[in-house]
Structure 1
Amino acid sequence: MAQKRDYYEVLEVGREATEVEIKKAYRKLAIKHHPDRNPDDPSAAEKFREATEAYEVLKDPQKRAQYDQLGHAAFEQPGGPAGGYGGMGGMDMNDALASFLRNFGGFGDLFGGGGGGGGGAAGRGQGRDLQVKVAITLREAADGVHKKVKLRKQVACKECSGSGGAHGSGASSCPECHGSGRRRQVVRTLLGQMVTEVACNRCGGRGNVVTDPCGACRGTGTVRGEETVEVRIPAGVARGNYMDMPGHGDAGERGGHPGDLRVVFDVNEDKVFERRGDDLLIDVPVSPVDLMLGVKVEVPTLDGRVALKVPAGTQTHKVFRLRGKGMPRLHRSDRGDQLVRILAWTPDKLSADEKSRLESLRAGLSSRVPAPGRGPID
């Protein structure tokens, strides 16, 4: 049995691709390889099936996280693949076509015949969902912070108050679909004829039409504008965490529901601390003499400096743990730890007196150095 290709490779996207980028990539491949567009090319059907299987996993945040961690093994059961394509054990062509119709509502929506886009409420003038990235410092991630974010987006037209009609005329029910925004369409597939619903051509899926459109927005009820939103970022967020803000996406056309806003957090690297999950790591340079004799060092933490006793005979790269001095755990009251890594520091230059003193110690210390071998020196 041929080995499965990586799902990101199948869709021709990177592992950091957004949901929008993944959907766009699948849409492009589905158009290119759909079996009804390539009836004489068996390889196209296989590429269509493969792309659909990949999309079913990567469009779902939970399945995508499992796949990122375990690969294809995340959806396999001992002794063979999981039953049914829901487990991604082996999607067949029937499953792929059914998934295609479910995701895009038929050829009208995918190939442009529907005009208004996706099914359901989105086809009835609902605003697009938006995504924005917000960069914060490690300290802001530790404390929590409020950030004001300026968005360029579709906002309700002031000239017509979002109705789309000139002089407040508004919109009337679409005579083609009688206000439903959908129409039935018969699609020929490898399964035979399938009846599906697509967006109405006349109203673009909105369910209403404007006979006297507003000049400012051309009848859509929305124009390009700006909005500033305040984002309350909780303590403990990490790079890649996100917050959804319902109703802060693009305004809906002609009074449709607004889309949602997803704010993705990017925590900048810190000059002092290295973040490892909820723990923090800091390197503390110590002279070889202090390592041999023992020393107390001042260690920076998020709460200020604390004293750490380094015992005599400590080896370089020894790691000490300061309990509860790390990052706050997201939506919890406890914190991670701070890891303190001791590093031997040697000066670039020595005075003649320093060299003389060290030379007197060299012979005695060199004779006690362990023989080379595997593993760290304890």
Structure 2
Amino acid sequence: MSTDYYEILGVAKDASPEEIKKAYRRKARTMHPDVASEPDAADRFKEVAQAYETLSDPKKRQMYDLGGPSMNGMGGMGGMGGFGGGQAGFDFTNLVDAMFGGGAGGGGRGPRPRVRRGQDALVRLDLDLADAAFGVTKQVKVDTAVLCPRCSGTGAEGESKPEPCATCHGQGDVTQVQRSFIGDIRTTQPCPTCRGYGTVIPHPCSECSGDGRIRSQRSLNVKIPAGVDTGNRIHLDSQGEIGPGGGPAGDLYVELRVGEHEVFKRHGEDLDMVVKIPMTSAALGTRIEVATLEADLADTPEADRTTAIDVPAGTQSGTRIELDDKGVPRLRGHGRGKLGVTLLVQTPTKLDEQQREALRQLASLRGEEETEVAVQRQHKGVFGRLRDVFAGQ
């Protein structure tokens, strides 16, 4: 096998560290014994790992370029750290990092901070249609982590303080070495004693057990703007979970759900309602008063609780009348939507003899003693109308 590390990796002698890393990544992906099927795959992979171990370290590379000890098969190199005893020792963290571009294993992370930002919180709030339309201030109850009142977030009891971890000596992680057919493999992981913090709390707070926070329910007043709808969220900065170690709080989101109304049907910023009127009123025309959404608010003046609608004579059932600025206020913008009033003409179902006679006289006056059925033709498209023109209709 070749003893030229540059030849093994397939790079020039003046290759940059990044070129060496990329070359090793390509070789390692194809020569790993779990991938390659050749009988000498293990030896070739060991050779590539040893070449990368030397050329990726500036000091080892300088010694090699100056004519330092050669590989001599796969032995020797005892004077270079990590190659003693004929074994190619290397850090598994560096291997994975070279192959996949990540920092697997957590090598070099150092201790993680005990004080961190808290998570965001989400609560849901049910609203009536009128409150959603015109805005309201509601009280919500939030069950989140709050600052521990006993230790004020330090996690330590009394005057005690965190101390350096004896297992990792304050590093936050520990390294384990395992022997394998390719040499000593070192893996780095968070310290099991301090859980990666680098410090331990010898006397944890009896209230929060060292976390610096406790669970508690609190009440907040939330201002709901006019025009909100189901699915809208109110963002409250720094009202979420207090972070571990008394860290800054996350944010709170209040998600709104607007209930159905017994009279009004909402379509965005518009409202719809159905009003029943007598047959005689529809025929003769009339003026009616209908309720507005403001009638649901306790402090609405009496004059604003209803609005007048003129019903033209001869109004048919299903006629829709639209009233401007009687709908829902626009959430982002000015003005309000429309209130659509659909008129449902009621035909009397119970008549006394006098009423029947009056209707007979009306039918006679209108020449409607005999019922005539008029079939309404469906709306025709362009081609249908052209066909009628050519047919002389």
Shorter chain as denominator, the TM-score bin is 0.5 to 0.7
Larger Rg: 1 or 2?
Answer: 2
Partner of 1:260: 251
Task: Output the CA distance in 1 between the equivalents of 2:284 and 2:119.
Answer: 65
Task: Output the CA distance in 2 between the equivalents of 1:258 and 1:211.
Answer: 26
Partner of 2:239: 248
1:371 aligned onto 2:375: yes
Partner of 2:317: 316
Q: How does 1:12-31 map to 2 (within 5 A)?
A: none
Structure 2 vs 1, CA of residues 268 and 306 (structure 1 numbering), >3 Å: closer, same or farther? Answer: same
SS at 1:167 equivalent = coil
- TM-score by structure 2 length? 0.55
Task: Output the CA distance in 1 between the equivalents of 2:334 and 2:198.
Answer: 49
Contact 1:177/1:183, CA 8 A, preserved across alignment: no
Task: Output the CA distance in 2 between the equivalents of 1:234 and 1:125.
Answer: 32
Deviation at 1:280, TM superposition (A): 0.8
Task: Output the CA distance in 1 between the equivalents of 2:313 and 2:196.
Answer: 76
Post-superposition CA distance 1:114-172 (Å, at most 9, x none): xxxxxx99x96432221111111111122211111112221111111121111143445
Partner of 2:160: 169
Give the unaligned 5+ runs of structure 1.
1-38, 40-100, 110-119, 185-196
Picking from 198, 201, 206, the partner of 1:210 is 201
- TM-score by structure 1 length? 0.57
Once the two structures are aligned, what percentage of the paired residues are identical? 36
SS at 1:327 equivalent = coil
Task: Output the CA distance in 1 between the equivalents of 2:173 and 2:331.
Answer: 43
Picking from 264, 273, 278, the partner of 1:282 is 273
Task: Output the CA distance in 2 between the equivalents of 1:312 and 1:289.
Answer: 9
CA RMSD of aligned residues (A): 3.6
Task: Output the CA distance in 1 between the equivalents of 2:169 and 2:377.
Answer: 80
Q: How does 1:176-255 map to 2 (within 5 A)?
A: 209-255=200-246
Residue identity opposite 2:154 in structure 1: S
Task: Output the CA distance in 1 between the equivalents of 2:269 and 2:290.
Answer: 18
Partner of 1:20: none
Post-superposition CA distance 1:335-361 (Å, at most 9, x none): 111111111123442222222322444
1:355 aligned onto 2:359: no
Contact 1:252/1:258, CA 8 A, preserved across alignment: yes
Task: Output the CA distance in 2 between the equivalents of 1:279 and 1:369.
Answer: 37
Give the unaligned 5+ runs of structure 2.
1-33, 35-99, 107-111, 176-187, 295-303, 380-393
Partner of 2:333: 332
Task: Output the CA distance in 2 between the equivalents of 1:225 and 1:354.
Answer: 71
Partner of 1:345: 346
SS at 1:263 equivalent = strand
Task: Output the CA distance in 2 between the equivalents of 1:132 and 1:329.
Answer: 24
1:154 aligned onto 2:145: yes
Task: Output the CA distance in 2 between the equivalents of 1:270 and 1:183.
Answer: 62
1:127 aligned onto 2:118: yes
Deviation at 1:212, TM superposition (A): 2.1
Contact 1:171/1:209, CA 8 A, preserved across alignment: yes
Contact 2:276/2:343, CA 8 A, preserved across alignment: yes
Deviation at 1:260, TM superposition (A): 1.5
